[in-house]
């Protein structure tokens, strides 16, 4: 039993890929950078402000401590009391401590820097201060390491001091040694006395950081959306192309940047793919399906040679190709009237463009009716129906093609008029009969064509269209070969003896019955009655009928032609009359 295929795609690389949009990737990169910048600015601001305040605090407290130091020196000199280790007059000590209390935040203490710390000595120095014994003892230990510096340098400048009191209060201050007092004069203040603005600044920086981060995120998000919009449009277009195979889709170019260049390159690629796809649809299918040499040859040459001719060539040997066959064909000749005059009037480029457009209309009609183009002779076209293989409908196809060519010339002339160009008039002659069909030429150069008297008569009939002013003339042989004669009404034009033809031939102009009105049919029948009198040699009886037809329809040229002939033959009766008109033109 066949195992049911799982619909899960969990093992595919696409499923395993993390779905993480490009905007989030950009945010993941940019937002940490913004945070780092803000943190760096905050840390820099904090240390800069702390260092600045520390410098100010050192200068200020150093100045204040200098005042106290100088006051103490003055007290000592004024008293002129012998100094004993650890002793100073009570009034002098009180005066010094009282002088130092100009600012309530400042605390000044005298810490002995010789001997060992004892409670008695500490009590003596700590009286009338706001410090407890534990803090004075901590200061004594902290300053002990400076004794040697103080002994060697009596002019030692004030030094900075930071420590945490036993009550967890952080303090900062400065101290100086006094040799006379054998003590450190220490001035301390609470840490927040100077550094509370730093804390305020950091609070403001925190608020600014949060607001800046939020605003920056919004700006970056908007910018990323603005930046990635062309990419989203590109993705949507590509998905539409891949889903619907619609190669007419194009990416909208919003910006002339790298993304714009990418979109333009993609559009160029799709345009070339569309061209290639159309070519594949039109040609490649047959090429892919070509399995044999004959099919490949057929595919290559079918644009230039009709398929039935290709079949004929492929089914014969190279020697047999030079042997012709006799068979019944219908040959069509068409020609542009007064082409020489037209060619002299037009610029060569305009002439070629007009001819190509004209040939396109004519050839389409011939090919649609299963005819083949034998050759182009200047402005003339020679077409064959029934070669290389005859059918019972060859004459029908030839007449139908001729009528279609008249419709095609009307369309062509309408376009020419619309473009202000010259129009064409054509004459078409058709004959049906036996002809030699085959490849005429040598092994180096051959041409598939038809030759014989049938071809010559078709050419003569095309030339007679100018004389009878009829767009189409067919021979009686074509009329008789028609499978569906009932479609047409045949206007008999004349019986002619053309150059190269020993016997006279009846010629007709075919008209579709469905396009004729009843009055028109009655008109042509009266014309046929008059024409019958003419062929019987009864010119006097035929003349008034042709004259009446001429009066009724001044555009019917044949009535004028036979009126003139009857008048001429009444005055000069013809000898050995057989009704045929002899034409010496080719």
Res 164: pLDDT:
78
Give yes or no: residues 41 and 66 share one domain: yes
Give yes or no: residues 504 and 530 share one domain: no
Give yes or no: residues 68 and 111 share one domain: yes
Res 81: pLDDT:
46
Domain range holding 532? 517-585
Res 86: pLDDT:
40
Give yes or no: residues 337 and 406 share one domain: yes
In a domain, 551, yes or no: yes
Residue 50's Cα: distance from chain center in Å?
61
d(CA 339, CA 241): 51
Q: What is the percent of the chain where pLDDT is above 90?
A: 35
In a domain, 281, yes or no: no
Q: Which of 197, 224, 244 is the last residue of a domain?
A: 197
Res 553: pLDDT:
95
**Ramachandran quadrant class, 40 (left: phi over 0; alpha: psi -120 to 50; beta: rest):** alpha
Give yes or no: residues 76 and 183 share one domain: yes
Give yes or no: residues 362 and 458 share one domain: yes
Structure tokens at 563: 């009126």
DSSP for 329-382?
EEEEEEEETTHHHHHHHS-HHHHHHHHHHHHHHHHHHHHHTT-EEEEEETTEEE
In a domain, 399, yes or no: yes
Residue 90's Cα: distance from chain center in Å?
100
475 contact partners, CB below 8 Å, separation of at least 6? 430, 431, 432, 457, 458, 461, 505, 506, 507, 508
In a domain, 222, yes or no: no
Structure tokens at 362: 């004519």
Give yes or no: residues 540 and 478 share one domain: no
d(CA 60, CA 192): 15
Give yes or no: residues 429 and 532 share one domain: no
d(CA 86, CA 183): 8
Give yes or no: residues 431 and 510 share one domain: yes
485 contact partners, CB below 8 Å, separation of at least 6? 479
Q: Which of 514, 537, 560 is the last residue of a domain?
A: 514
Give yes or no: residues 464 and 546 share one domain: no
The CATH number of whichever domain residue 347 belongs to comes to 3.30.70.1230
Element (H, E) at 268: helix 258-279
What's the pTM? 0.51
d(CA 114, CA 148): 10
In a domain, 179, yes or no: yes
CA atoms within 13 A on the CB side of 267: 13
Q: Which of 152, 178, 197 is the last residue of a domain?
A: 197
Phi, psi of 94, rounded to the nearest 5 degrees: -65, -40
d(CA 12, CA 27): 28
d(CA 221, CA 188): 52
The CATH number of whichever domain residue 28 belongs to comes to 3.30.450.20
Domains: count for the chain: 3
Per-residue model confidence as pLDDT tens for the chain (586 residues): 444 444 444 455 555 455 566 667 777 777 787 787 777 777 777 777 777 777 777 777 777 777 777 776 676 666 554 443 344 555 666 666 666 566 666 777 777 665 555 454 444 444 445 667 777 777 777 777 666 655 555 555 567 777 777 778 788 778 777 666 667 777 777 877 777 776 777 777 778 878 877 787 777 777 777 767 777 777 777 777 777 776 677 777 766 666 677 777 877 887 777 777 777 777 656 555 555 566 666 665 555 455 666 676 666 655 555 567 899 999 999 999 999 889 888 899 989 999 999 999 999 999 999 899 989 998 999 999 998 888 999 999 999 999 999 999 999 999 999 999 999 999 999 999 999 988 777 767 777 789 999 999 999 999 999 999 999 999 999 999 999 999 999 999 999 998 777 789 999 999 999 999 999 999 999 999 999 999 999 999 999 999 999 999 999 999 999 999 999 999 999 988 989 998 876 5
463 contact partners, CB below 8 Å, separation of at least 6? 335, 427, 429, 585, 586
Res 414: pLDDT:
95
In a domain, 574, yes or no: yes
Give yes or no: residues 494 and 529 share one domain: no
In a domain, 282, yes or no: no
In a domain, 193, yes or no: yes
Give yes or no: residues 497 and 526 share one domain: no
Residue 380's nearest CA partner among 304, 466, 309 is: 466
Element (H, E) at 103: none
Res 302: pLDDT:
59
């Amino acid at each position: 039993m066949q195992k049911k295929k799982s619909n899960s795609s969990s093992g595919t690389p696409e499923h395993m890929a993390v779905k993480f949009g490009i905007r989030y990737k950009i945010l993941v990169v940019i937002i940490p950078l913004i945070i780092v910048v803000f943190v760096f600015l905050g840390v820099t601001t904090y240390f800069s402000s702390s260092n600045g305040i520390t410098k100010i605090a050192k200068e200020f407290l150093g100045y204040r401590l200098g005042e106290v130091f100088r006051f103490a020196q003055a007290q000592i000199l004024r008293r002129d009391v012998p100094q004993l280790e650890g002793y100073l007059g009570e009034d002098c000590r009180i005066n010094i401590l009282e002088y130092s209390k100009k600012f309530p935040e400042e605390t000044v203490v005298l810490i002995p820097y010789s001997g060992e710390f004892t409670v008695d000595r500490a009590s003596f120095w700590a009286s009338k201060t706001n410090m407890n014994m534990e803090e004075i003892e901590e200061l004594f230990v902290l300053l002990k390491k400076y004794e040697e510096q103080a002994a060697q340098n009596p002019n030692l400048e004030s030094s900075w001091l930071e420590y945490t009191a036993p009550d967890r209060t952080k303090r900062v201050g400065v101290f100086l040694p006094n040799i006379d007092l054998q003590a450190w004069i220490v001035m301390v203040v609470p840490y927040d006395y100077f550094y509370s603005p730093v804390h305020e600044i950091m609070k403001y920086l925190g608020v600014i950081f949060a607001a800046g981060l939020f605003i920056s995120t919004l700006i970056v998000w908007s910018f990323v959306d603005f930046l990635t919009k062309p990419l989203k449009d590109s993705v949507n277009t590509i998905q539409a192309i891949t889903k619907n195979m619609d190669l007419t889709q194009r990416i909208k170019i919003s910006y002339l940047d790298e993304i714009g260049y990418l979109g333009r390159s993609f559009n160029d690629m799709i345009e070339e793919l569309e061209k290639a796809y159309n070519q594949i649809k039109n040609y490649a299918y047959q090429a892919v399906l070509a399995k044999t040499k004959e099919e490949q040859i057929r595919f290559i040459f079918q644009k230039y040679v009709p398929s039935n001719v290709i079949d004929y060539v492929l089914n014969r040997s190279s020697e047999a190709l030079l042997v012709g066959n006799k068979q019944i064909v219908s040959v069509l000749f068409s020609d542009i009237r007064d082409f020489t005059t037209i060619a002299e009037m037009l610029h060569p480029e305009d002439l070629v463009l007009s001819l190509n457009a004209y040939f396109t209309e004519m050839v389409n009609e011939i090919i649609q009716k299963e005819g083949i183009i034998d050759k182009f002779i200047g402005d003339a076209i020679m077409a064959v129906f029934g070669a290389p293989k005859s059918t019972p409908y060859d004459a029908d196809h030839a007449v139908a093609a001729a009528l279609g060519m008249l419709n095609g010339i009307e369309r062509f002339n309408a376009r020419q008029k619309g473009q202000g160009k010259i129009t064409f008039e054509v004459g078409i002659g058709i004959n049906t009969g036996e002809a030699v069909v085959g490849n005429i030429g040598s092994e180096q150069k051959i041409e598939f064509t038809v030759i014989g008297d049938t071809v010559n008569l078709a050419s003569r009939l095309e030339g007679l269209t100018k004389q009878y002013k009829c767009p189409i003339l067919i021979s009686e042989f074509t009329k008789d070969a028609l499978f569906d004669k009932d479609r047409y009404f045949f206007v008999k034009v004349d019986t002619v003896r053309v150059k190269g033809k020993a016997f006279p031939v009846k010629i007709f102009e075919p008209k579709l019955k469905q396009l004729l009105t009843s009055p028109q049919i009655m008109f042509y029948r009266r014309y046929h009655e008059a024409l019958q009198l003419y062929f019987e040699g009864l010119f006097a009886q035929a003349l008034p009928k042709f004259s009446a037809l001429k009066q009724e329809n001044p555009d019917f040229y044949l009535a004028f032609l036979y009126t003139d002939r009857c008048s001429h033959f009444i005055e000069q009766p013809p000898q050995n009359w057989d009704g045929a008109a002899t034409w010496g033109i080719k």
